[in-house]
A and B are shown apart, each in its own frame.
Chain A
Amino acid sequence: MADHRRLRRRWVLQRNLTGWAFVAPVGFFFVLFLLIPVLGVFWWSTQSGRLLGGNEFVGLDNFGRILTSIEASGALRTTVLFALFSVPAIIVIAMVLGMSLARVKRGATVYRFMVYFPVLVPPIVIGLIWVFLTHADFGLFNVVLRAVGAEPVNWLSTTNALPVVAAADIWRSVGYWAIFFLAAFLGLPRELYEAAHLDGANTIRRFWYVTLPGIRNILLLAVLMATIWALQVFEIVLVLTRGGPGTATRTAVYYVWWYVFGDGQVGLGAAISVLLLVVILAMSLAVVRLIRVRQA
């Protein structure tokens, strides 16, 4: 009896060791380079001082400073505005394109390749390409405007810069979500469409009553992910406008980078990062809940 128990204990121990041996390599890097930094950003948001040493505990002061600092709150407003510009446009355009891709036969492969191509380009290069579109002298937009006899526009002025950055982000992202929606549309059971068709539903009704409910969860997921990505916009801003003119396109991540590595104001940067993390977490939980409610 005792023998049996000892054997069993050894077996359990070995089972646990084997399991952890498989997980440990990734687990190690996960804890060191993701878990600890996430905890670290919360800790740092309560500190004042510089990146390496000289910290002091200041409680929630940094969060208060976000509200009072015109620059910090401005960066948050810019980020939200950017997401409001880009996310709805991305989702709507991508759905139209995904729908079209699902329904055409001729040229489907060519269309798919061209729609997807910008997705393969690093965001830095996207920003660069948009420099060549928006440049006052040789930018494509102004070349076209001059050709049709219109006045050239300053595309990166204080008022235009943010919408133009958003347009660049839309231009870069629609392909990704178009292919995503294409997969979702193809995954819908065809019988439903045939039934709707027999019932005499037209295309718009079919979209409203069959397609949209069918992809509800996937749509929610796409909105969530697109929003999360929009809140992190950085590369395009850096190359295209350097946050300017003035602070017109200084977004949250740009601000964190600029503050921490340029100015050394670690606490404020960390506080903004925490805010970003909390917002993303809250949105994710809300979407998971919405999806669950429907499935239950």
Chain B
Amino acid sequence: MRERLFSSRTVDEPSRIERAFYHVALIVACIALVTPFLYVISASLKESTSLFEYPPKLVPFPPYFGHYERLVSDSPFPRWMANTLFVATIVTVAKVFLDSLAGYAFAKLNFVGRNAFFLLMVAMLLVPYGAIILPLYAVVHAIGIHDTYFALILPPLCNPLGVFLMRQVISMLPKDLDNAARLDGVSEFGIYRRIILPLIKPSLVVVAVITFTEMFMSFIWPLVAVRDQDLQVLTVGVASMRNMTSVNFGLWSAAAVLGMVPLALAFFLFQRQFQARSIAGALKQ
């Protein structure tokens, strides 16, 4: 992608005015996109009372860390964060394993009902969570896992997107690879484990990034799935801070800032895979 961007553009070089336009558009967009974050960070470093001062201090000096201290030492926030990271990590690991397993079978094995079942999964690709929370809650209630970690971890495993992506990637690998191994007497699981998995590592990371991000952000299902205060995840907890007797805006802004940290960190580590997240949609064609 990058090579393409920077390679020879001798014939098709944008003119000076054109390039100026692109820069102006990007700078305007960046200012509009970044300023609100800075404003919230600034608000989180002020005492709640000085938030209402006019004119506002845009750069609070000296910064006040009281909200962060209270959030970390005297609020359920650390518990929310731990729950989110715990649930998201388990789901991500499980998804990467299960999706690649199924993707391998859909791409390389032949069995009765394969195409029908795959089509069924693809057809459900776009079903929104918001539309099925009610029966999903009934199912979870019926098997008795409501108000447990299982209610947060098991239902998200149903998402067919990872299976779909894995099948696309694995079916692009040459047939001779697995056929040769099969002739050598390697079991199907051995082929999956020792030949396919090492070859699709980059795509596994993409699926992991997609799953983790989605889990970190998910809200409506955790909201209805658990009532127990000890099981609340970050998003639900932060939203519930509004319902507390009086909204403490300072505390709230600090929670917002800390809530952004994990994914921002992950983004620095896996930049390329994150952008592939945007592009994964295009694969669906």
Asked whether A261 and B224 contact (CB < 8 A) given A121-B263, A177-B278, A221-B282, the answer is: yes
- Of B60-68, B120-128, B173-181, B199-207, the stretch lying at the interface with chain A is B120-128
A41 near B26 with CB under 8 A, answer no
**A200 at interface (Cβ–Cβ under 8 A)?**
no
Chief secondary structure at chain B's binding surface:
helix
B135 near A228 with CB under 8 A, answer no
Interface residues of B in 233-247 (CB under 8 A from A): 234-235, 238-239, 242
In the assembled complex, which residues on chain A have CB atoms less than 8 Å from the CB atom of B239?
124, 127, 235, 238-239
- Of A18-26, A60-68, A80-88, A157-165, the stretch lying at the interface with chain B is A18-26
Q: In the bound complex, how far is the Cα of B134 from the Cα of A260, in angstroms?
A: 7
Q: In the bound complex, how far is the Cα of B27 from the Cα of A141, in angstroms?
A: 19
A123 near B219 with CB under 8 A, answer yes
B135 near A101 with CB under 8 A, answer no
B216 near A100 with CB under 8 A, answer no
In the assembled complex, which residues on chain B have CB atoms less than 8 Å from the CB atom of A197?
11-12
**A73 at interface (Cβ–Cβ under 8 A)?**
no
A133 near B36 with CB under 8 A, answer yes
**B77 at interface (Cβ–Cβ under 8 A)?**
no
One of B43, B99, B101, B220 near A132 (C-beta < 8 A): B43
Q: In the bound complex, how far is the Cα of B48 from the Cα of A132, in angstroms?
A: 13
Q: In the bound complex, how far is the Cα of B121 from the Cα of A35, in angstroms?
A: 9
Interface residues of B in 140-156 (CB under 8 A from A): 141, 154-155
B282 near A183 with CB under 8 A, answer yes
A41 near B5 with CB under 8 A, answer no
Measured CB to CB, the nearest residue on chain A to B260 is A121
A137 near B40 with CB under 8 A, answer no
Asked whether A51 and B137 contact (CB < 8 A) given A19-B111, A217-B285, the answer is: yes
Number of interface residues of B (CB under 8 A): 103
**A257 at interface (Cβ–Cβ under 8 A)?**
yes
A23 near B102 with CB under 8 A, answer yes
Q: Which of B120, B155, B157 has the most CB of A within 10 A?
A: B157
B124 near A183 with CB under 8 A, answer no
In the assembled complex, which residues on chain A have CB atoms less than 8 Å from the CB atom of B99?
26
In the assembled complex, which residues on chain A have CB atoms less than 8 Å from the CB atom of B172?
none
One of B30, B129, B158, B224 near A114 (C-beta < 8 A): B30
Asked whether A183 and B25 contact (CB < 8 A) given A138-B51, A225-B281, the answer is: no
Cβ contacts A10-41/B at 8 Å (1 or 0 each) = 00000110111011011101101111111111
In the assembled complex, which residues on chain B have CB atoms less than 8 Å from the CB atom of A43?
135
**A9 at interface (Cβ–Cβ under 8 A)?**
no
**A2 at interface (Cβ–Cβ under 8 A)?**
no
- B39 to chain A minimum Cβ distance, whole angstroms, is 5
Chief secondary structure at chain A's binding surface:
helix
**B33 at interface (Cβ–Cβ under 8 A)?**
yes
Interface residues of A in 152-185 (CB under 8 A from B): 171, 174-177, 179-180, 183-184
One of B22, B127, B234, B255 near A277 (C-beta < 8 A): B127
**B119 at interface (Cβ–Cβ under 8 A)?**
no
**B269 at interface (Cβ–Cβ under 8 A)?**
no
Q: In the bound complex, how far is the Cα of B138 from the Cα of A39, in angstroms?
A: 12
In the assembled complex, which residues on chain B have CB atoms less than 8 Å from the CB atom of A97?
25-26, 29
Q: In the bound complex, how far is the Cα of B42 from the Cα of A143, in angstroms?
A: 14
- B169 to chain A minimum Cβ distance, whole angstroms, is 15
One of A25, A133, A217 near B98 (C-beta < 8 A): A25
In the assembled complex, which residues on chain B have CB atoms less than 8 Å from the CB atom of A23?
101-102, 105-106, 114, 117
B139 near A124 with CB under 8 A, answer no
A122 near B134 with CB under 8 A, answer no
**B130 at interface (Cβ–Cβ under 8 A)?**
yes
B281 near A34 with CB under 8 A, answer no
Cβ contacts B271-282/A at 8 Å (1 or 0 each) = 100110011011
A34 near B4 with CB under 8 A, answer no
A132 near B109 with CB under 8 A, answer no
**B19 at interface (Cβ–Cβ under 8 A)?**
yes
- B43 to chain A minimum Cβ distance, whole angstroms, is 6
**B132 at interface (Cβ–Cβ under 8 A)?**
yes
B133 near A260 with CB under 8 A, answer yes
In the assembled complex, which residues on chain A have CB atoms less than 8 Å from the CB atom of B267?
116, 120
Q: In the bound complex, how far is the Cα of B275 from the Cα of A218, in angstroms?
A: 16
26 contacts between A and B (CB under 8 A): A16-B111, A23-B117, A26-B98, A26-B101, A32-B139, A34-B127, A37-B139, A41-B132, A51-B137, A96-B25, A97-B29, A104-B26, A122-B216, A125-B235, A128-B252, A133-B39, A138-B43, A140-B35, A171-B36, A183-B275, A184-B282, A193-B11, A232-B129, A232-B131, A260-B133, A280-B126
Chain B residues within 8 Å of A, Cβ to Cβ = 1, 4-6, 11-12, 14-15, 18-19, 21-23, 25-26, 29-30, 32-37, 39-40, 43, 51-52, 54-56, 98-99, 101-102, 104-106, 109-114, 117, 120-121, 124, 126-139, 141, 154-155, 157-160, 163, 188, 192, 213, 216-217, 219-220, 223-224, 234-235, 238-239, 242, 249, 252-253, 255-256, 259-260, 263-264, 267, 271, 274-275, 278-279, 281-282, 284-285
- A-B contact sample (8 more), CB < 8 A, given A29-B157, A193-B11: A29-B155, A34-B160, A97-B26, A100-B21, A114-B33, A146-B55, A171-B32, A238-B239
A-B CB proximity, top 6 nearest = A19-B111, A40-B135, A22-B105, A253-B130, A100-B22, A33-B158
